[in-house]
Structure 1
């Protein structure tokens, strides 16, 4: 250094005993003032909430759950109702200060590839009603944290509103578990409500997998990208039409929306402090993975939903006396939706049951606005309530040596077929989407019982081969009768009624078609002449058409490929996939 260069005077730095929370998170020098200079210049809220820990080795270094952010404007503080439980209030959330949080018990990796710690205080002693309601469905995020949750810019309010409108128009009659007014009221506040954001993105993931439903709400809505969760995969093409109507929002992929759900859940202590929203979110995640054909993930989330419901004791009637009437109504409906869904999925995938009939059925007000929806909902419950642990235990048994000819079918199966053979509600009794679900589910359950009968006893080719009192349900050609009922119902119902049920109804029709194809493969020996004379082969071709036309991309679905192969084999002719291609509508 030259002699002409001035040396700055030496200043002894003042030792700051504790940096403020923001400076500590940003790892910048803090002057210890309140507020400090850094927070003042960056318009952050300056707090000293972190508990100062002693120095020295502390074992393995914990993995931070927060990225190192650049300077951002402070998130506005939202005033919450004073009745929020302690576990849900902002000043009780441990994630706000990393140094004050307990060491993570387990590191998890979500589908987006990020690792995070599952944190949260022990709240086992929290009253059931407080854990269930939790203000806005149990808010768990610290809203005062300037580095807290932020919604993705790809999940716009317009997108969520579009998906919600489509859900309540088409799928709500089948799964009446969401309060529309509450969901729509939460839209402007998603940044402050990560738990509701997780629920809505999970619901959107289900809806973007049914683009034909979204198109009915927004005809020019673009299609979602196949699988990529990145912004580059979002279709931003717009119509060249000169219409003055606003362009519909771009649809992210279902996988991206699922990753948003899991990301938002990191900001919620939803395992130790579950809420009704937690159960609803897990159910929609099950639905999304089921539509994607990811069976292990689907089974995981349906079981997670049931576990959370049981943690809240929503499977016990006494719980409902201590919660608000509207919350009790949606909780009761959710229990029965899970009751039906678990049984259907257990039959499809040979699983075990968890939920039993421990709750009263939802009450129906004949003069209420949802009387027709709840009536159809009760009819669907009545179909599945006969399939209990005894039936599933028999269903899940491994195939054994067939019994000798002449062995009668088990009496419980005969009674069950008689129950399913009862006439269902007349058309117009419920919503069209419910009517489609009821008709197909009834015929599908008949097929499941028939398949079990075939595995347990040799069935005759016709009822006359058994006795005068026997009906077709205990004969080998019964799938012909079942398929005829499905084809007739599909012709009477609008296509949108089947589309609203999505992949769930496609898989049931697929099972019916496979059983019909198996019977027709044995036609020379098994099917009676009068059954063949009424066109069971035409029924099979029509079943193929239904499977191919119900959901978008049906011509490439895994169900259609298998069914076309079976139909071609049993009919001894090539079945053109063209019969299942949706006609182009302009």
Structure 2
């Protein structure tokens, strides 16, 4: 086996052929000292000096340090001294901005809780409400926690709410407080982009509502009409939220219909103002137009049964009522247009669309009409009335951009 011929340093520098001997013929002829001190560089992929790894490691360390700083700042705000003040601000923001959207708690009850020691289920629900308000209001035109990382504060509120559940048997809670806690946690996780946790706690809230019997007439017998009003709203908000999630995420539903409204106005409606309940009932009515069969088939990744083609599915649009608050109008009209577009997509799947259809809702250009109509509605409303609905209303509006 022949050995590898290595050129000497002089032949390499002169770029001439070397015979590989020591000394080589060329060096003998030119009277040069023949030596081989040059170290050849290894060919192929070379090991790095670690600059990229060091840069990535520095970035990770910076992120971790930033997270620790944010947690410390959030922890400072949630200290035992400042916690009551922050929670009062959250409750105040809920009553001022979010109450028309979720009128689920008596104003007087929330005010009284800060004047006495709280039970474990009350504490858990209040922490969950604060987590919800923090995610809805912070990062928008009005902030609750200022420059502090609002997601860290919201997660700390969530953790405190769940820790309070260890203080009592929350499954056997005979009040609606644990149910509300689960609902608020569900919406909070939705705002935090954690869909798995959101769906889990929404189903937990629905299960607790069915365990208590909120869907039965017996539950409301001998109950004060004010308490009955808010319990009915709790059931209906679960009905609305489940159907919204079922449409957007193709999920099955457990609640088949909302509760009928009371025959007469209760003292609760009189205390909060005459405009809250009508707007809330209008929103429930919009979602009531989705029947269970449609939702069941839609949950199969958007598949719609053949019976859809035999029905003229169009929404009964709610008129623009002056007595409805702007916050409720934004929710109602976005929901109407969103569901109308959902029906259009179902018709598209069944091949029911045509350029010569008599109804505009059965034409291919109908999404343009829906989008223009929604734009006109939203442009007439204050920005704050849209912001207060959080990520849910933004997701529904993004649905339109994907359909045009």
TM-score (norm 2): 0.74
Counterpart in the other structure of 1:507: 395
Counterpart in the other structure of 1:455: 349
Give the whole-Å Cα distance in 2 for the aligned partners of 1:408 and 1:193.
Answer: 51
Which of 354, 358, 379 lines up with 1:491 in the alignment? 379
Aligned ranges 1:343-354 → 2 under 5 Å: 343-354=243-254
> Of the two, which has the highest radius of gyration?
2
Give the whole-Å Cα distance in 2 for the aligned partners of 1:356 and 1:207.
Answer: 29
Counterpart in the other structure of 2:310: 411
1:325 aligns with 2:225: yes
* Count of aligned positions: 324
CA, structure 1 residues 329+287, in 2 after alignment: closer, same or farther (shift >3 Å)? same
Residues 437, 505 of structure 1: 8 Å contact kept: yes
Residues 315, 335 of structure 1: 8 Å contact kept: yes
Residues 100, 328 of structure 2: 8 Å contact kept: yes
C-alpha deviation, 1:273, in angstroms: 2.7
Residues 379, 438 of structure 1: 8 Å contact kept: yes
Which of 207, 219, 222 lines up with 2:133 in the alignment? 207
Which of 267, 275, 290 lines up with 1:372 in the alignment? 275
Residues 197, 261 of structure 1: 8 Å contact kept: yes
- Cα displacement string for residues 511-563 of structure 1 (whole angstroms, at most 9, x for unaligned residues): 112112xxxxxxxxxxxxxxxxxxxxxxxxxxxxxxxxxxxxxxxxxxxxxxx
CA, structure 1 residues 364+498, in 2 after alignment: closer, same or farther (shift >3 Å)? farther
Residues 317, 358 of structure 1: 8 Å contact kept: no
Counterpart in the other structure of 2:95: 168
Structure with higher RCO (Cα < 8 A, 6+ apart): 2
- Cα displacement string for residues 158-195 of structure 1 (whole angstroms, at most 9, x for unaligned residues): 111111111111111111101111111112335x4221
C-alpha deviation, 1:213, in angstroms: 8.6
Task: Provide the secondary structure at the position in 2 that maps to 1:222.
Answer: coil
- Cα displacement string for residues 57-108 of structure 1 (whole angstroms, at most 9, x for unaligned residues): xxxxxxxxxxxxxxxxxxxxxxxxxxxxxxxxxxxxxxxxxxxxxxxxxxxx
Counterpart in the other structure of 1:187: 114
C-alpha deviation, 1:336, in angstroms: 0.7
Residues 138, 150 of structure 2: 8 Å contact kept: no
CA, structure 1 residues 205+309, in 2 after alignment: closer, same or farther (shift >3 Å)? same
CA, structure 1 residues 321+482, in 2 after alignment: closer, same or farther (shift >3 Å)? same
Q: Which has the higher helix share?
A: 2
Give the whole-Å Cα distance in 2 for the aligned partners of 1:360 and 1:409.
Answer: 27
Q: Which runs of 5+ in 2 are unaligned?
A: 1-77
- Cα displacement string for residues 325-379 of structure 1 (whole angstroms, at most 9, x for unaligned residues): 2221111110111111110111111111111226322456398243211111111
Superposed CA RMSD: 2.6
Which of 335, 339, 355 lines up with 1:445 in the alignment? 339
- Cα displacement string for residues 2-57 of structure 1 (whole angstroms, at most 9, x for unaligned residues): xxxxxxxxxxxxxxxxxxxxxxxxxxxxxxxxxxxxxxxxxxxxxxxxxxxxxxxx
Give the whole-Å Cα distance in 1 for the aligned partners of 2:105 and 2:340.
Answer: 31
Which of 350, 365, 371 lines up with 1:477 in the alignment? 365
Counterpart in the other structure of 1:267: 167
Task: Provide the secondary structure at the position in 2 that maps to 1:515.
Answer: coil
C-alpha deviation, 1:313, in angstroms: 0.7
Aligned ranges 1:8-47 → 2 under 5 Å: none
Task: Provide the secondary structure at the position in 1 that maps to 2:173.
Answer: coil
Large movers: runs of 4+ above 6 Å: none
Task: Provide the secondary structure at the position in 2 that maps to 1:322.
Answer: coil
- Cα displacement string for residues 482-524 of structure 1 (whole angstroms, at most 9, x for unaligned residues): 10011111110000000111111101101112112xxxxxxxx
Counterpart in the other structure of 2:206: 306
